[in-house]
Amino acid sequence: MKVLKFGGTSVGSAATIRNVRKIITSQKGRKMVVVSAMSGVTNQLVELVAQFKQNETSAVAAILEQIRMKHLGLIEELFANPETAKSTANLFEILFEQLEEVTAQDFESSLEPVIVTFGETFLSFIFSQYLEAEGVSNTLLDAKDFMHVANVENPDVEVVSQLLSGVLRREVSSEVYVTQGFVRVDRNKNINTLNRGGSDYTATIIGAALKASEVQIWTDIDGFHNNDPRFVENTKALSHLTFEEAAELAYFGAKILHPQTVSPVKERNIPIFLKNTFTPDASGTMISSEVHGTGLKAISAKGDITAIKIKSNRMLMAHGFLKKIFEVFDKHQTAIDMITTSEIAISLTIDNTTNLHKILDDLEEYGEITVDTNHSIICIVGEGLINDQSTFRIFEILNDIPVRMISYGGSNNNVSLLVDTRNKVQALQALNVKLFNQTPMLEHS
């Protein structure tokens, strides 16, 4: 079985949904189709939650009506048969009443994930009905019946596999199954999420659980590019990446892929294909264990980074000092992205500042603290990059751009630079010239 995931822009309109149907029906074999909410709907639901928290009933009602009309408009445009459109709209109204009932309650934090996952519920229902109307027999599955993920960072694929196998045994065998991305059931048996962008992650968890032949992630980009096309001209799509390369690029800012997507399928050696819904014949990017060339390959950037420096003479020859520093971040459930050390100082970065003040309060007893905000990590990736003779060119940007930190040697395929976000675009463009557009240097005899 293949797993095909379609993101919000791929299912954002009647025209794009028709295109998705063509993609699905053009592929042979059984398929599990994972869909996101319509483009923009999750943002509307997040705003709905914000207004619900403040008990702004008129604002809640207005947003609900916007969401309702958006989906009813989609149904009207999508279904060719007026009778089928009408019956689908009636069924959708019944489904929509569930969201209205949730927002009619007194607000509780546990209701937030319930609300924000309705976008996937709505779209998967409409999409399944549309496929059926077009003669594509399919079965709609409720992801909450099997996506029981207690630990988002380390999902127990076997639990998902057992539950999904049970669901599939109970259902009539189908060539196409449709389900929702993003949603999960947590360790307390409550509805929760895999965090924003988590539909990619849903797809690979399901892929691993099914021992799928492949996972396809369909977006509006022709796969991974060797640099960020939003800021750099003439970037190139990469035909192949290893699991490690893709994981590094996704973690350090490449928006095409959720950072945790690779981990569930890597152990099972299930390839991921990144494809463009709007140019389905384009080759896209294949992510697998296969190595197709070594050395410098791609650059990505991650913003909203905060750098923290702890300077203390007590570090000198002090056993256990680093352990104490790390325990502070562990206590406040905050991950560290980069770290460098000297004899009397540690510099590190975080991208989650929710508990920053508490962290700084705890760190003060260990030394003098300096905080720099509004920074970006620029990540240069390539299998065996550490042995590439061209890697030195990365450091030529030091002539033109101040670099706050450098992380090199933590892995064989990643060099990371920390720069002020004001210099991010300049750094990306400069690296693109130095690493990908520069004429190869002649060896001196």
- Supply the pLDDT for residue 435: 86
Mean per-residue pLDDT, 400-406: 92
In terms of Cβ atoms closer than 10 Å to its own Cβ (0-12, 13-18, 19+), residue 389 is exposed
Q: Which of 248-262, 302-316, 422-436 has the weakest average pLDDT?
A: 248-262
Give 135 or 224, the one with higher predicted confidence: 135
Beta strands, E only, 36-175: 139-140
Q: Is residue 236 part of a domain?
A: no
The 3-state DSSP composition of the chain as helix, strand, coil percent (nearest 5) reads: 40, 20, 35
Q: Which of 295, 288, 298, 277 is nearest to 240 (CA)?
A: 288
Residue at which a domain ends, from 198, 219, 240: 219
At residue 410, does pLDDT exceed 80? Answer: no
- What's the total number of domains in the chain? 2
Q: Which of 401, 30, 429 is nearest to 234 (CA)?
A: 429
Residue at which a domain ends, from 219, 237, 254: 219
> Is residue 46 domain-shared with residue 188, that is, in the same domain?
yes
Distance CA 211, CA 168 (A): 14
For the stretch 307-316, what's the b/e string if a residue is b when 16 or more beta carbons lie within 10 angstroms of its beta carbon?
bbbbebeebe
Q: Which of 93-107, 237-251, 314-328, 401-415 has the weakest average pLDDT?
A: 314-328
Distance CA 307, CA 338 (A): 9
CATH of the domain at 77: 3.40.1160.10
Q: Is residue 277 part of a domain?
A: no
| Residue 144: alpha-carbon gap to chain centroid | 20
Distance CA 349, CA 140 (A): 43
CATH of the domain at 413: 3.30.2130.10
Beta strands, E only, 108-259: 139-140, 176-180, 183-185, 191-193, 214-219, 240-242
Q: Is residue 391 part of a domain?
A: yes
> Is residue 303 domain-shared with residue 215, that is, in the same domain?
no
Q: pTM score, two decimals?
A: 0.88
Other beta carbons less than 10 A from residue 335's beta carbon: 11
- Supply the pLDDT for residue 438: 53
- Supply the pLDDT for residue 6: 96
Torsion sign (Cα): 199, 205, 211, 215: positive
Distance CA 341, CA 326 (A): 13
Taking all residues of the chain, what is their mean pLDDT, rounded to a whole number?
91
Q: Is residue 289 part of a domain?
A: no
Q: Which of 30-39, 108-117, 128-137, 331-340 has the weakest average pLDDT?
A: 331-340
Residue carrying the six token digits 């590439």: 388
115: tokens are: 């609300």
Mean per-residue pLDDT, 405-416: 81
| Residue 398: alpha-carbon gap to chain centroid | 31
CA distances for 75 relative to 66, 127, 284, angstroms: 14, 9, 31
Convert the pLDDT of each residue in 146-176 to its tens digit: 999 999 989 999 999 999 999 999 987 899 9
Q: Is residue 273 part of a domain?
A: no
Residue at which a domain ends, from 195, 219, 243: 219
CB 249 within 8 Å of CB 300: yes
430: tokens are: 């400069």
Q: Which of 432, 373, 402, 85 is nearest to 234 (CA)?
A: 432
Q: Which of 402, 174, 362, 389 is nearest to 295 (CA)?
A: 389
> Is residue 215 domain-shared with residue 309, that is, in the same domain?
no
Rounded percentage of the chain residues whose pLDDT exceeds 90: 69
Convert the pLDDT of each residue in 271-307 to its tens digit: 999 999 999 998 899 999 988 877 788 999 999 999 9
Q: Is residue 245 part of a domain?
A: no
At residue 441, does pLDDT exceed 60? Answer: no
| Residue 391: alpha-carbon gap to chain centroid | 28
Q: Is residue 377 part of a domain?
A: yes
What value does the CA radius of gyration of the chain take, rounded to a whole number of Å? 24
Host domain of residue 184: 2-219
Q: Is residue 110 part of a domain?
A: yes
Mean per-residue pLDDT, 314-327: 77
